Amino acid sequence: MRRRSAFTLIELLVVIAVIAILIGLLLPAVQKVREAAARMKCSNNLKQLGLAVHNYEGVHREVPTLGTYRPPTSMGKHGWVMFLLPYLEQTALASQYRWDVSFSDPVNQPVIKTQLRIFQCPSTPRTTWTISASDSGVAYEAAVGDYAACNGVSKDLATYLGNTSMSRGGMFFGEITPRGVRFAEVTDGLSQTFMVLEHAGMPEWYVLGTKQPTNAPVPERAAWGHQYQFSLLLRGHSTDGKSYYGPCAINCSNDLGIYSFHTGTVNTLFADGSVQSVRSGMQVSVMAALATVGGGEVISPNDY
């Protein structure tokens, strides 16, 4: 009777080595597929936001203001997202929101604490889903998101670039302006103007991909229900990402900067409703030009 053959130790080690090599080859591919899917979901979130803004503009002939003290029926304080909720398939949530008091009022807590997937990028390694803050002495909790309305260019960045006339002037301009920007006023062209940007990871603070030991200086900038903080007035950062103003435009720091967890790029919603991937190496002057509605700069896709 023949004895059953068995693996020798060497053969077993060879098999284990081959399996390890295959796993080593497959894991990066799996991770790339997973990241591509997350980046696509993030892009779709922005496309839905763009569609909502366009539908709102089609009805009101202007985009929402960044925030307002003058909503339809009161002198309360309310952010740009509140105006879009009915256009984001959130009619029920919108109906719960009280316009006769501010966003931070206790009666509006159930609304602003609601986590909305449309504001969550799957690539973000988030551990914090709400923030606690105060508004005019009123404590509140709010759900956070990974995007921000483009408020334009800060005065200091405009000075850094030697063009003070470009200060502010974004698609979502000001928190007390009487009305929003009209598409016809975007003389740079809708396809050449930022509308909503990735601002991922807040309130946790990231610099050049590294999480910092403390939260970002103003954590309420992550709150999608805030009157005006869910926005970016762009500044540009130093090359180490630890201060502003400077030449670093993309993925430098999520403290007042365009920031994502996609490798080498961020997703950006343009005013024409398209979503473009913008590379991390984009010049800060190009970022500033795309952030304003009427600077007259000539920008090509190769610039970003």
Task: Provide the token pair at 276.
Answer: 């473009």
3-class secondary-structure state, position 11? helix
Q: So what's the pLDDT on residue 167?
A: 62
- Grouping H, G, I as helix, E, B as strand and the rest as coil, residue 71 is coil
Distance from C-alpha of 214 to C-alpha of 157, rounded to nearest angstrom: 25
pLDDT band, residue 16 (cuts 50/70/90): confident
The amino acid present at 143, given as its one-letter code, is A
Based on its alpha-carbon atoms, the radius of gyration of the chain, rounded to whole angstroms, reads 23
146 pLDDT more than 80? yes
Predicted TM-score (pTM) of the model is 0.85
pLDDT at residue 126, rounded to an integer: 85
Residues 6+ apart with CB under 8 A from 113: 130, 141, 142, 143
Predicted local distance difference test score (pLDDT) of residue 17: 81
68: closest CA among 196, 174, 225?
A: 174
1 has pLDDT over 60: no
The encoded tokens of residue 104 equal: 């931070």
Lowest mean pLDDT among 58-67, 117-126, 169-178, 257-266: 169-178
Please state the rounded mean pLDDT for residues 215-237.
91
* The pLDDT of residue 76: 72
The SS3 call for residue 28 is helix
Contact 120, 199 (CB under 8 A): no
Q: DSSP alpha helices (H): ranges in the chain?
A: 9-60, 80-84, 91-96, 109-112, 155-160, 284-291
Listed range (74-78, 116-120, 158-162, 194-198) with the worst mean pLDDT? 74-78
For position 6, what pLDDT does the model report? 62
pLDDT digits (tens, 9 = 90+) for 79-99: 999 999 999 999 999 999 998
CB 161 within 8 A of CB 125: no
What pLDDT is stored for residue 176 in this prediction? 56
**CA-wise closest residue to 79 among 175, 10, 170:** 175
pLDDT at position 62 is 93
- Residue of 70 and 121 predicted with greater confidence: 121
Share of the chain above pLDDT 70, in %: 91
Query: Mind listing the pLDDT tens digit for each residue in 175-193?
Result: 556 788 999 999 999 999 9
Among residues 173, 193, 184, 152, the alpha carbon closest in space to that of 297 is found at 193
Which pairing describes strands 78-79 and 130-135: parallel, antiparallel, or unpaired? Answer: unpaired
Report the candidate in 115, 78, 120, 117 with the shortest Cα–Cα distance to residue 226: 78
- Average pLDDT for 243-267: 94
Q: Token pair for residue 31? A: 């991770």
All structural domains of the chain with their residue ranges: 40-295
Please report the pLDDT score of residue 177 as a whole number. 61
Span 184-207, mean pLDDT?
Answer: 95
Is the per-residue pLDDT at 74 higher than 70? no
214-219 average pLDDT score: 88
Of 23-37, 47-61, 151-165, give the range with the top mean pLDDT.
47-61
Average pLDDT, integer, range 133-160? 92
Q: What's the mean per-residue pLDDT of the chain?
A: 88
Q: What is the pLDDT of residues 283-300, one digit of tens each?
A: 999 999 999 998 888 888
Residue 110 confidence class, pLDDT cut points 50, 70, 90: very high
Predicted confidence at residue 260, as pLDDT, reads: 97
Percent of the chain with pLDDT over 90: 62
| pLDDT band per the 50, 70, 90 thresholds, residue 71 | very low
Identify the pLDDT of residue 293. 92
